[in-house]
Amino acid sequence: MNFPINNTKLSVLFDSQAITAQRWRSSSPKERAERLKKINGWIRDNLKQIRAALKSDFGKPEAETDLSEIYPVITEIKHTLKNLEKWMRPVRVSTPLTMLGTSGKIHPEPKGRSLIIAPWNYPFNLAITPLVSALAAGCTAIIKPSELTPNSSALLENMIKELFDPSEVAVIQGETETSQELLKLPFDHIFFTGSPSVGKIVMKAAAEHLTSVTLELGGKSPVIIDRNADLKDAAEKILWGKFVNCGQTCIAPDYALAHESILQELLMELKVGLQKMYDTEYKGIEHSHDYARIVNEKHFSRLLDYLADALNHGATLEFGGHTNPSTQFIEPTILTQVDDSMKVMQEEIFGPLLPIKTYQTLEEAVSYINSKPKPLALYFFGRDIDNYETVIQETSSGNVVINDCVLHYSHPNLPFGGINNSGIGKAHGYFGFLEFSNQKGVLKQRVGMTSLSLTRPPYDLKTKKLIASLIKWF
Ligand code: NAD
Protein backbone atom coordinates (compact mmCIF):
# COMPACT_ATOMS: atom_id res chain seq x y z
CA MET A 1 0.00 0.00 0.00
CA ASN A 2 1.52 3.29 -1.04
CA PHE A 3 0.78 4.88 2.30
CA PRO A 4 2.02 8.47 2.29
CA ILE A 5 4.46 8.89 5.16
CA ASN A 6 1.89 9.82 7.67
CA ASN A 7 2.18 8.96 11.29
CA THR A 8 -1.54 8.74 11.84
CA LYS A 9 -2.11 6.29 9.02
CA LEU A 10 0.83 4.17 10.11
CA SER A 11 -0.52 4.19 13.66
CA VAL A 12 -3.98 3.11 12.49
CA LEU A 13 -2.42 0.25 10.55
CA PHE A 14 -0.21 -0.66 13.49
CA ASP A 15 -3.18 -0.65 15.88
CA SER A 16 -5.19 -2.84 13.53
CA GLN A 17 -2.38 -5.41 13.63
CA ALA A 18 -2.59 -5.49 17.44
CA ILE A 19 -6.05 -7.03 17.19
CA THR A 20 -4.85 -9.66 14.72
CA ALA A 21 -1.71 -10.36 16.75
CA GLN A 22 -3.88 -11.10 19.79
CA ARG A 23 -6.13 -13.39 17.74
CA TRP A 24 -3.16 -15.15 16.15
CA ARG A 25 -1.60 -15.97 19.52
CA SER A 26 -3.73 -19.07 19.68
CA SER A 27 -3.63 -19.92 15.97
CA SER A 28 -3.16 -23.61 15.25
CA PRO A 29 -0.34 -25.09 13.14
CA LYS A 30 -2.96 -25.70 10.45
CA GLU A 31 -4.05 -22.04 10.36
CA ARG A 32 -0.46 -20.83 10.19
CA ALA A 33 0.29 -23.40 7.50
CA GLU A 34 -2.63 -22.05 5.44
CA ARG A 35 -1.01 -18.59 5.43
CA LEU A 36 2.25 -20.06 4.16
CA LYS A 37 0.49 -22.15 1.53
CA LYS A 38 -1.17 -18.99 0.17
CA ILE A 39 2.27 -17.45 -0.36
CA ASN A 40 3.57 -20.61 -1.99
CA GLY A 41 0.57 -20.73 -4.34
CA TRP A 42 0.96 -17.07 -5.31
CA ILE A 43 4.65 -17.53 -6.11
CA ARG A 44 3.97 -20.54 -8.32
CA ASP A 45 1.21 -18.63 -10.16
CA ASN A 46 3.33 -15.52 -10.66
CA LEU A 47 6.79 -16.78 -11.59
CA LYS A 48 6.90 -14.67 -14.74
CA GLN A 49 6.04 -11.45 -12.90
CA ILE A 50 8.71 -12.08 -10.27
CA ARG A 51 11.34 -12.72 -12.93
CA ALA A 52 10.26 -9.62 -14.89
CA ALA A 53 10.43 -7.35 -11.83
CA LEU A 54 13.96 -8.44 -10.98
CA LYS A 55 15.03 -8.19 -14.61
CA SER A 56 13.82 -4.61 -14.84
CA ASP A 57 15.32 -3.60 -11.50
CA PHE A 58 18.91 -4.64 -12.21
CA GLY A 59 19.02 -6.94 -15.21
CA LYS A 60 18.96 -10.07 -13.06
CA PRO A 61 19.03 -13.18 -15.28
CA GLU A 62 15.85 -15.25 -14.97
CA ALA A 63 17.76 -18.37 -14.00
CA GLU A 64 19.40 -16.46 -11.14
CA THR A 65 16.00 -15.20 -9.99
CA ASP A 66 14.73 -18.77 -9.97
CA LEU A 67 17.78 -19.99 -8.09
CA SER A 68 18.31 -17.21 -5.59
CA GLU A 69 14.93 -15.53 -5.10
CA ILE A 70 12.23 -18.13 -5.75
CA TYR A 71 13.83 -21.47 -4.88
CA PRO A 72 15.05 -20.40 -1.39
CA VAL A 73 11.60 -19.03 -0.48
CA ILE A 74 9.78 -22.12 -1.71
CA THR A 75 12.15 -24.45 0.15
CA GLU A 76 11.85 -22.31 3.28
CA ILE A 77 8.06 -22.68 3.13
CA LYS A 78 8.30 -26.42 2.46
CA HIS A 79 10.70 -26.96 5.36
CA THR A 80 8.52 -24.85 7.67
CA LEU A 81 5.32 -26.67 6.69
CA LYS A 82 7.01 -29.98 7.42
CA ASN A 83 8.23 -28.95 10.87
CA LEU A 84 5.87 -26.27 12.11
CA GLU A 85 3.74 -28.45 14.34
CA LYS A 86 6.85 -29.80 16.07
CA TRP A 87 8.38 -26.31 16.49
CA MET A 88 5.15 -24.95 18.02
CA ARG A 89 4.81 -27.77 20.56
CA PRO A 90 5.68 -26.83 24.16
CA VAL A 91 8.85 -28.66 25.20
CA ARG A 92 8.98 -30.36 28.58
CA VAL A 93 12.21 -29.81 30.52
CA SER A 94 13.69 -32.10 33.16
CA THR A 95 13.04 -31.35 36.85
CA PRO A 96 15.93 -30.91 39.29
CA LEU A 97 15.71 -32.76 42.62
CA THR A 98 15.10 -29.53 44.52
CA MET A 99 11.97 -28.92 42.46
CA LEU A 100 10.44 -32.37 42.82
CA GLY A 101 6.70 -32.20 42.34
CA THR A 102 6.88 -29.42 39.74
CA SER A 103 6.86 -29.62 35.96
CA GLY A 104 8.44 -27.18 33.54
CA LYS A 105 7.74 -26.50 29.90
CA ILE A 106 8.96 -24.04 27.28
CA HIS A 107 6.09 -22.51 25.35
CA PRO A 108 7.12 -20.73 22.14
CA GLU A 109 4.66 -17.83 21.94
CA PRO A 110 4.39 -15.34 19.07
CA LYS A 111 6.17 -12.09 19.89
CA GLY A 112 3.28 -10.17 18.29
CA ARG A 113 3.66 -7.38 15.75
CA SER A 114 6.81 -7.50 13.64
CA LEU A 115 8.54 -5.10 11.30
CA ILE A 116 10.60 -6.50 8.42
CA ILE A 117 12.97 -4.06 6.71
CA ALA A 118 14.44 -5.53 3.54
CA PRO A 119 17.41 -4.59 1.32
CA TRP A 120 17.45 -4.31 -2.46
CA ASN A 121 19.98 -6.99 -3.41
CA TYR A 122 17.66 -10.01 -3.15
CA PRO A 123 14.50 -7.94 -2.87
CA PHE A 124 11.98 -10.77 -3.09
CA ASN A 125 13.78 -13.45 -1.09
CA LEU A 126 14.89 -11.16 1.75
CA ALA A 127 11.41 -9.75 2.28
CA ILE A 128 9.50 -13.04 2.05
CA THR A 129 11.85 -15.44 3.87
CA PRO A 130 11.59 -13.48 7.15
CA LEU A 131 7.84 -13.21 6.55
CA VAL A 132 7.65 -17.02 6.44
CA SER A 133 9.35 -17.14 9.87
CA ALA A 134 7.07 -14.39 11.22
CA LEU A 135 3.89 -16.13 10.05
CA ALA A 136 5.14 -19.52 11.27
CA ALA A 137 5.70 -18.00 14.71
CA GLY A 138 2.19 -16.47 14.64
CA CYS A 139 3.23 -12.82 14.22
CA THR A 140 1.73 -10.11 12.05
CA ALA A 141 4.11 -8.12 9.85
CA ILE A 142 4.69 -4.79 8.19
CA ILE A 143 7.24 -5.12 5.41
CA LYS A 144 9.30 -2.14 4.29
CA PRO A 145 11.05 -3.11 1.03
CA SER A 146 13.94 -1.17 -0.48
CA GLU A 147 13.29 1.95 -2.53
CA LEU A 148 16.21 1.01 -4.83
CA THR A 149 14.29 -1.83 -6.51
CA PRO A 150 10.91 -0.20 -7.27
CA ASN A 151 9.56 -2.96 -9.53
CA SER A 152 10.22 -5.66 -6.95
CA SER A 153 8.75 -3.49 -4.19
CA ALA A 154 5.58 -2.89 -6.24
CA LEU A 155 5.32 -6.62 -6.91
CA LEU A 156 5.65 -7.36 -3.18
CA GLU A 157 2.96 -4.83 -2.39
CA ASN A 158 0.54 -6.33 -4.92
CA MET A 159 1.29 -9.84 -3.74
CA ILE A 160 0.65 -9.05 -0.07
CA LYS A 161 -2.50 -7.07 -0.90
CA GLU A 162 -3.89 -10.08 -2.77
CA LEU A 163 -3.08 -12.51 0.02
CA PHE A 164 -3.63 -10.69 3.31
CA ASP A 165 -5.71 -8.07 4.98
CA PRO A 166 -3.50 -5.10 5.99
CA SER A 167 -4.35 -5.87 9.61
CA GLU A 168 -2.42 -9.14 9.10
CA VAL A 169 0.44 -8.32 6.74
CA ALA A 170 1.09 -5.04 4.93
CA VAL A 171 3.77 -3.61 2.67
CA ILE A 172 4.75 0.01 3.16
CA GLN A 173 6.89 1.44 0.40
CA GLY A 174 9.04 4.50 0.85
CA GLU A 175 12.45 5.99 1.37
CA THR A 176 14.56 6.26 4.50
CA GLU A 177 12.02 8.61 6.16
CA THR A 178 9.34 5.91 5.90
CA SER A 179 11.63 3.44 7.65
CA GLN A 180 12.31 6.00 10.32
CA GLU A 181 8.59 6.64 10.89
CA LEU A 182 7.99 2.91 11.17
CA LEU A 183 10.88 2.55 13.59
CA LYS A 184 9.14 4.97 15.99
CA LEU A 185 6.36 2.42 16.56
CA PRO A 186 6.65 -0.04 19.46
CA PHE A 187 6.92 -3.26 17.45
CA ASP A 188 7.42 -6.54 19.30
CA HIS A 189 10.23 -7.58 16.96
CA ILE A 190 12.23 -5.98 14.16
CA PHE A 191 13.91 -8.11 11.52
CA PHE A 192 16.32 -5.91 9.58
CA THR A 193 18.46 -6.95 6.63
CA GLY A 194 20.92 -4.37 5.35
CA SER A 195 24.19 -2.62 6.03
CA PRO A 196 25.94 -2.48 9.42
CA SER A 197 25.65 1.33 9.45
CA VAL A 198 21.85 1.29 9.08
CA GLY A 199 21.73 -1.70 11.44
CA LYS A 200 23.05 0.61 14.18
CA ILE A 201 20.28 3.15 13.45
CA VAL A 202 17.69 0.36 13.66
CA MET A 203 19.07 -0.95 16.93
CA LYS A 204 19.10 2.53 18.47
CA ALA A 205 15.46 3.06 17.46
CA ALA A 206 14.53 -0.39 18.80
CA ALA A 207 16.21 0.43 22.12
CA GLU A 208 13.65 3.21 22.64
CA HIS A 209 10.92 0.57 23.08
CA LEU A 210 13.24 -2.27 24.13
CA THR A 211 12.11 -4.11 21.01
CA SER A 212 14.09 -7.24 20.17
CA VAL A 213 15.99 -7.21 16.89
CA THR A 214 17.37 -9.58 14.34
CA LEU A 215 20.05 -7.78 12.36
CA GLU A 216 21.17 -9.53 9.19
CA LEU A 217 24.08 -7.35 8.16
CA GLY A 218 27.07 -7.49 5.84
CA GLY A 219 30.76 -6.72 5.82
CA LYS A 220 33.82 -8.33 4.31
CA SER A 221 33.60 -12.13 4.04
CA PRO A 222 37.03 -13.62 3.27
CA VAL A 223 37.88 -16.74 1.31
CA ILE A 224 41.10 -18.58 2.13
CA ILE A 225 42.66 -20.72 -0.60
CA ASP A 226 45.15 -23.03 1.05
CA ARG A 227 48.28 -24.39 -0.63
CA ASN A 228 46.82 -27.84 -1.32
CA ALA A 229 43.35 -26.75 -2.51
CA ASP A 230 41.97 -28.20 -5.73
CA LEU A 231 42.38 -24.95 -7.62
CA LYS A 232 40.05 -25.63 -10.54
CA ASP A 233 37.29 -26.64 -8.14
CA ALA A 234 37.99 -23.68 -5.84
CA ALA A 235 38.10 -21.19 -8.72
CA GLU A 236 34.76 -22.34 -10.17
CA LYS A 237 33.01 -22.19 -6.82
CA ILE A 238 34.52 -18.82 -5.86
CA LEU A 239 33.59 -17.32 -9.23
CA TRP A 240 29.98 -18.34 -8.88
CA GLY A 241 29.75 -17.11 -5.28
CA LYS A 242 31.43 -13.83 -6.13
CA PHE A 243 29.77 -12.92 -9.42
CA VAL A 244 26.21 -14.21 -9.01
CA ASN A 245 23.93 -11.14 -8.73
CA CYS A 246 26.93 -9.14 -10.08
CA GLY A 247 28.72 -9.45 -6.75
CA GLN A 248 25.85 -7.78 -4.88
CA THR A 249 25.48 -10.56 -2.33
CA CYS A 250 25.99 -10.18 1.41
CA ILE A 251 27.79 -13.53 1.64
CA ALA A 252 29.81 -13.21 -1.57
CA PRO A 253 33.51 -13.81 -0.97
CA ASP A 254 34.54 -10.18 -0.57
CA TYR A 255 38.30 -10.73 -0.86
CA ALA A 256 40.58 -13.74 -1.20
CA LEU A 257 43.59 -14.76 0.86
CA ALA A 258 45.65 -17.14 -1.28
CA HIS A 259 48.74 -19.06 -0.26
CA GLU A 260 51.56 -17.36 -2.16
CA SER A 261 52.71 -20.65 -3.76
CA ILE A 262 49.43 -21.16 -5.65
CA LEU A 263 48.61 -17.61 -6.72
CA GLN A 264 49.61 -17.93 -10.38
CA GLU A 265 47.78 -21.22 -10.93
CA LEU A 266 44.73 -19.87 -9.11
CA LEU A 267 44.68 -16.79 -11.35
CA MET A 268 44.85 -19.00 -14.41
CA GLU A 269 41.92 -21.11 -13.19
CA LEU A 270 39.89 -18.01 -12.33
CA LYS A 271 40.40 -16.55 -15.82
CA VAL A 272 39.50 -19.86 -17.51
CA GLY A 273 36.47 -20.17 -15.24
CA LEU A 274 35.20 -16.68 -16.05
CA GLN A 275 35.48 -17.35 -19.76
CA LYS A 276 33.58 -20.60 -19.31
CA MET A 277 30.79 -19.03 -17.25
CA TYR A 278 30.16 -15.80 -19.11
CA ASP A 279 32.00 -15.72 -22.44
CA THR A 280 32.11 -19.07 -24.21
CA GLU A 281 31.90 -17.37 -27.63
CA TYR A 282 34.62 -14.80 -26.88
CA LYS A 283 32.29 -11.85 -27.56
CA GLY A 284 33.00 -10.17 -24.22
CA ILE A 285 31.21 -10.65 -20.91
CA GLU A 286 29.07 -7.55 -21.56
CA HIS A 287 27.15 -9.64 -24.10
CA SER A 288 26.38 -12.42 -21.64
CA HIS A 289 22.71 -12.87 -20.75
CA ASP A 290 23.75 -14.56 -17.56
CA TYR A 291 25.35 -11.63 -15.79
CA ALA A 292 23.39 -8.97 -13.86
CA ARG A 293 24.04 -5.23 -13.61
CA ILE A 294 24.81 -2.80 -10.78
CA VAL A 295 21.60 -1.62 -9.14
CA ASN A 296 22.04 2.16 -9.60
CA GLU A 297 24.37 4.95 -10.58
CA LYS A 298 25.42 5.65 -7.00
CA HIS A 299 26.67 2.10 -6.45
CA PHE A 300 28.19 2.06 -9.97
CA SER A 301 30.27 5.19 -9.19
CA ARG A 302 31.18 3.85 -5.75
CA LEU A 303 32.62 0.69 -7.33
CA LEU A 304 34.50 2.62 -10.03
CA ASP A 305 35.98 4.75 -7.27
CA TYR A 306 37.15 1.61 -5.40
CA LEU A 307 38.72 0.27 -8.60
CA ALA A 308 40.48 3.54 -9.47
CA ASP A 309 41.67 3.94 -5.88
CA ALA A 310 43.15 0.39 -5.86
CA LEU A 311 44.94 0.92 -9.19
CA ASN A 312 46.25 4.32 -8.06
CA HIS A 313 47.67 2.71 -4.93
CA GLY A 314 49.54 0.07 -6.92
CA ALA A 315 47.11 -2.86 -7.34
CA THR A 316 47.57 -5.04 -10.45
CA LEU A 317 44.57 -5.57 -12.74
CA GLU A 318 44.62 -9.29 -13.53
CA PHE A 319 41.27 -9.56 -15.29
CA GLY A 320 38.37 -7.33 -16.28
CA GLY A 321 38.06 -3.64 -15.55
CA HIS A 322 35.72 -2.86 -18.45
CA THR A 323 32.67 -0.82 -17.55
CA ASN A 324 29.69 0.75 -19.30
CA PRO A 325 27.94 3.61 -17.48
CA SER A 326 24.90 3.54 -19.76
CA THR A 327 23.98 0.02 -18.59
CA GLN A 328 25.79 0.07 -15.24
CA PHE A 329 27.88 -2.87 -16.40
CA ILE A 330 31.07 -3.71 -14.53
CA GLU A 331 33.05 -6.64 -15.82
CA PRO A 332 34.10 -9.30 -13.30
CA THR A 333 37.40 -7.83 -12.14
CA ILE A 334 40.32 -9.48 -10.37
CA LEU A 335 43.03 -7.51 -8.57
CA THR A 336 46.30 -8.58 -6.95
CA GLN A 337 49.02 -6.66 -5.07
CA VAL A 338 46.35 -5.17 -2.82
CA ASP A 339 46.90 -3.77 0.66
CA ASP A 340 44.97 -2.11 3.47
CA SER A 341 45.59 1.40 2.18
CA MET A 342 43.03 0.67 -0.57
CA LYS A 343 39.25 1.10 -0.26
CA VAL A 344 38.70 -2.42 -1.70
CA MET A 345 40.40 -3.79 1.41
CA GLN A 346 38.65 -1.42 3.82
CA GLU A 347 35.00 -1.30 2.75
CA GLU A 348 32.48 -4.04 1.94
CA ILE A 349 32.83 -4.24 -1.87
CA PHE A 350 29.30 -5.43 -2.74
CA GLY A 351 30.11 -5.59 -6.44
CA PRO A 352 32.12 -7.62 -8.98
CA LEU A 353 35.65 -6.74 -7.80
CA LEU A 354 37.74 -9.55 -6.33
CA PRO A 355 40.98 -8.46 -4.63
CA ILE A 356 43.43 -11.27 -3.87
CA LYS A 357 46.02 -10.92 -1.14
CA THR A 358 48.67 -13.57 -0.52
CA TYR A 359 49.85 -15.15 2.71
CA GLN A 360 52.86 -17.31 3.62
CA THR A 361 51.57 -19.08 6.74
CA LEU A 362 48.06 -19.93 7.85
CA GLU A 363 48.68 -18.06 11.12
CA GLU A 364 49.25 -14.93 9.04
CA ALA A 365 45.88 -15.41 7.26
CA VAL A 366 44.10 -16.10 10.55
CA SER A 367 45.56 -13.05 12.26
CA TYR A 368 44.68 -10.85 9.26
CA ILE A 369 41.03 -11.99 9.53
CA ASN A 370 41.07 -11.53 13.30
CA SER A 371 42.32 -7.97 12.94
CA LYS A 372 39.07 -7.05 11.11
CA PRO A 373 35.41 -6.99 12.22
CA LYS A 374 33.93 -10.49 12.47
CA PRO A 375 32.70 -11.57 9.03
CA LEU A 376 29.25 -12.81 8.05
CA ALA A 377 30.77 -15.82 6.28
CA LEU A 378 34.24 -17.31 6.08
CA TYR A 379 35.24 -19.70 3.31
CA PHE A 380 38.15 -22.12 3.23
CA PHE A 381 39.36 -24.15 0.27
CA GLY A 382 41.87 -26.88 1.02
CA ARG A 383 42.24 -30.54 1.94
CA ASP A 384 44.25 -30.22 5.15
CA ILE A 385 41.91 -31.06 8.02
CA ASP A 386 44.22 -29.54 10.64
CA ASN A 387 44.27 -26.30 8.69
CA TYR A 388 40.53 -25.92 8.36
CA GLU A 389 40.01 -26.98 11.97
CA THR A 390 42.48 -24.24 12.93
CA VAL A 391 40.47 -21.71 10.95
CA ILE A 392 37.17 -22.85 12.52
CA GLN A 393 38.67 -22.75 16.03
CA GLU A 394 40.69 -19.57 15.83
CA THR A 395 38.39 -17.19 13.97
CA SER A 396 34.88 -15.93 14.64
CA SER A 397 32.25 -15.46 11.94
CA GLY A 398 28.52 -16.00 11.37
CA ASN A 399 29.10 -19.13 9.29
CA VAL A 400 32.01 -21.15 7.89
CA VAL A 401 31.96 -23.17 4.68
CA ILE A 402 34.75 -25.58 3.75
CA ASN A 403 35.38 -26.16 0.04
CA ASP A 404 32.45 -24.12 -1.21
CA CYS A 405 30.91 -20.71 -0.78
CA VAL A 406 27.44 -19.17 -0.39
CA LEU A 407 25.98 -22.72 -0.21
CA HIS A 408 25.22 -22.57 3.52
CA TYR A 409 22.48 -20.04 2.79
CA SER A 410 20.33 -22.87 1.41
CA HIS A 411 20.86 -25.41 4.19
CA PRO A 412 17.51 -25.57 6.00
CA ASN A 413 18.94 -26.90 9.27
CA LEU A 414 21.78 -24.42 9.74
CA PRO A 415 21.40 -21.04 11.44
CA PHE A 416 22.14 -18.17 9.06
CA GLY A 417 23.43 -14.84 10.32
CA GLY A 418 26.37 -12.86 11.53
CA ILE A 419 28.10 -11.84 14.73
CA ASN A 420 28.66 -8.29 16.02
CA ASN A 421 29.36 -6.10 12.97
CA SER A 422 27.93 -8.73 10.61
CA GLY A 423 24.72 -9.24 12.56
CA ILE A 424 22.78 -10.22 15.64
CA GLY A 425 20.43 -13.19 15.76
CA LYS A 426 19.90 -15.99 13.26
CA ALA A 427 17.53 -16.64 10.38
CA HIS A 428 16.10 -19.58 8.44
CA GLY A 429 14.01 -22.56 9.43
CA TYR A 430 13.76 -23.24 13.15
CA PHE A 431 16.18 -20.40 13.92
CA GLY A 432 13.95 -17.91 12.09
CA PHE A 433 10.91 -19.26 13.94
CA LEU A 434 12.74 -18.73 17.24
CA GLU A 435 13.59 -15.10 16.40
CA PHE A 436 9.90 -14.23 16.11
CA SER A 437 8.94 -16.29 19.20
CA ASN A 438 9.28 -15.65 22.89
CA GLN A 439 10.53 -18.79 24.62
CA LYS A 440 8.20 -18.58 27.58
CA GLY A 441 9.15 -20.79 30.49
CA VAL A 442 6.09 -22.15 32.29
CA LEU A 443 6.49 -23.79 35.71
CA LYS A 444 3.66 -25.73 37.34
CA GLN A 445 3.81 -26.37 41.09
CA ARG A 446 1.64 -28.74 43.12
CA VAL A 447 -0.91 -27.27 45.52
CA GLY A 448 -0.04 -27.36 49.23
CA MET A 449 3.12 -28.57 50.91
CA THR A 450 6.27 -28.68 48.75
CA SER A 451 9.90 -29.49 49.55
CA LEU A 452 10.79 -25.79 49.24
CA SER A 453 8.20 -24.72 51.84
CA LEU A 454 10.67 -26.09 54.40
CA THR A 455 13.07 -23.24 53.56
CA ARG A 456 10.67 -20.42 54.51
CA PRO A 457 11.09 -18.17 57.57
CA PRO A 458 11.34 -18.24 60.46
CA TYR A 459 14.95 -19.23 59.85
CA ASP A 460 15.42 -21.42 62.87
CA LEU A 461 18.34 -23.81 63.27
CA LYS A 462 16.58 -26.62 61.36
CA THR A 463 15.72 -24.35 58.40
CA LYS A 464 19.23 -22.90 58.29
CA LYS A 465 20.70 -26.41 58.21
CA LEU A 466 18.42 -27.34 55.35
CA ILE A 467 19.40 -24.20 53.37
CA ALA A 468 23.08 -24.91 54.09
CA SER A 469 22.64 -28.46 52.81
CA LEU A 470 21.11 -27.07 49.58
CA ILE A 471 24.31 -25.11 48.97
CA LYS A 472 26.45 -28.07 49.91
CA TRP A 473 24.70 -30.85 48.02
CA PHE A 474 22.72 -29.35 45.13
P1 NAD B 1 20.77 -0.48 3.54
O2 NAD B 1 21.20 -0.68 4.93
O3 NAD B 1 21.20 0.76 2.84
O4 NAD B 1 19.17 -0.52 3.42
C5 NAD B 1 18.39 -1.58 3.93
C6 NAD B 1 16.99 -1.07 4.23
O7 NAD B 1 17.08 -0.07 5.24
C8 NAD B 1 16.24 -0.46 3.06
O9 NAD B 1 14.88 -0.86 3.10
C10 NAD B 1 16.36 1.03 3.31
O11 NAD B 1 15.25 1.76 2.84
C12 NAD B 1 16.41 1.11 4.82
N13 NAD B 1 17.20 2.27 5.28
C14 NAD B 1 18.24 2.86 4.66
N15 NAD B 1 18.72 3.88 5.40
C16 NAD B 1 17.96 3.94 6.51
C17 NAD B 1 17.95 4.78 7.66
N18 NAD B 1 18.83 5.77 7.80
N19 NAD B 1 17.02 4.55 8.62
C20 NAD B 1 16.12 3.54 8.49
N21 NAD B 1 16.09 2.72 7.42
C22 NAD B 1 16.98 2.91 6.44
O23 NAD B 1 21.26 -1.78 2.75
P24 NAD B 1 21.14 -2.12 1.20
O25 NAD B 1 22.03 -1.21 0.44
O26 NAD B 1 19.72 -2.22 0.81
O27 NAD B 1 21.75 -3.60 1.18
C28 NAD B 1 23.11 -3.84 1.17
C29 NAD B 1 23.64 -4.23 2.54
O30 NAD B 1 22.85 -5.25 3.10
C31 NAD B 1 25.04 -4.81 2.47
O32 NAD B 1 25.80 -4.37 3.57
C33 NAD B 1 24.80 -6.31 2.56
O34 NAD B 1 25.91 -7.05 3.01
C35 NAD B 1 23.65 -6.36 3.50
N36 NAD B 1 22.88 -7.59 3.33
C37 NAD B 1 22.88 -8.50 4.33
C38 NAD B 1 22.20 -9.69 4.17
C39 NAD B 1 22.18 -10.76 5.24
O40 NAD B 1 21.36 -11.67 5.13
N41 NAD B 1 23.02 -10.70 6.24
C42 NAD B 1 21.51 -9.93 2.99
C43 NAD B 1 21.52 -8.95 2.01
C44 NAD B 1 22.20 -7.77 2.19
Cβ proximity of 239 and 274 under 8 Å: yes
Ligand 1: which residue has its CA nearest to atom 16?
A: 176
Given this model, what pLDDT does residue 4 score? 46
Separation of CA 75 and ligand 1 centre (Å): 24
Catalytic annotation present for 76: no
Residue-wise pLDDT for 125-145, tens only, equals: 999 999 999 999 999 999 999
Separation of CA 401 and ligand 1 centre (Å): 24
Separation of CA 415 and ligand 1 centre (Å): 20
191 Cβ closer than 6 Å to some ligand 1 atom: no
397 Cβ closer than 6 Å to some ligand 1 atom: no
Ligand 1: which residue has its CA nearest to atom 15?
A: 176
Given this model, what pLDDT does residue 399 score? 98
204 Cβ closer than 6 Å to some ligand 1 atom: no
18 Cβ closer than 6 Å to some ligand 1 atom: no
266 Cβ closer than 6 Å to some ligand 1 atom: no
Given this model, what pLDDT does residue 451 score? 82
Ligand 1: which residue has its CA nearest to atom 43?
A: 250
Residue-wise pLDDT for 419-441, tens only, equals: 999 999 999 999 999 999 999 99
Q: Which domains does the chain have, with CATH numbers?
A: 8-217+425-438 (3.40.605.10), 222-412 (3.40.309.10)
Given this model, what pLDDT does residue 271 score? 97
Q: Which atom of ligand 1 is nearest to the CA of 423?
A: 41
Given this model, what pLDDT does residue 90 score? 98
Q: Which atom of ligand 1 is nearest to the CA of 144?
A: 9
237 Cβ closer than 6 Å to some ligand 1 atom: no
| Catalytically annotated residue among 64, 69, 168, 216 | 216
126 Cβ closer than 6 Å to some ligand 1 atom: yes
Residue whose CB lies within 8 A of the most ligand 1 atoms, among 57, 142, 195, 200, for a mutation test: 195
Q: Which atom of ligand 1 is nearest to the CA of 194?
A: 30
Catalytic annotation present for 269: no
Consecutive 10-residue averages of pLDDT for the chain (474 residues): 66 97 98 98 98 96 96 98 98 93 97 98 98 98 97 98 98 96 98 98 98 97 98 98 97 98 98 96 94 96 98 98 97 98 98 98 98 98 97 98 97 97 98 98 94 91 93 86
Separation of CA 11 and ligand 1 centre (Å): 24
Against a cut of 0.85, is the pTM above it?
yes
Given this model, what pLDDT does residue 411 score? 95
Q: Which atom of ligand 1 is nearest to the CA of 398?
A: 41
Separation of CA 364 and ligand 1 centre (Å): 32
Separation of CA 23 and ligand 1 centre (Å): 32
Separation of CA 179 and ligand 1 centre (Å): 11
For 29-68, what is the HEC assignment? HHHHHHHHHHHHHHHHHCHHHHHHHHHHHHCCCHHHHHHH
Given this model, what pLDDT does residue 474 score? 79
Cβ proximity of 32 and 84 under 8 Å: yes
Given this model, what pLDDT does residue 5 score? 57
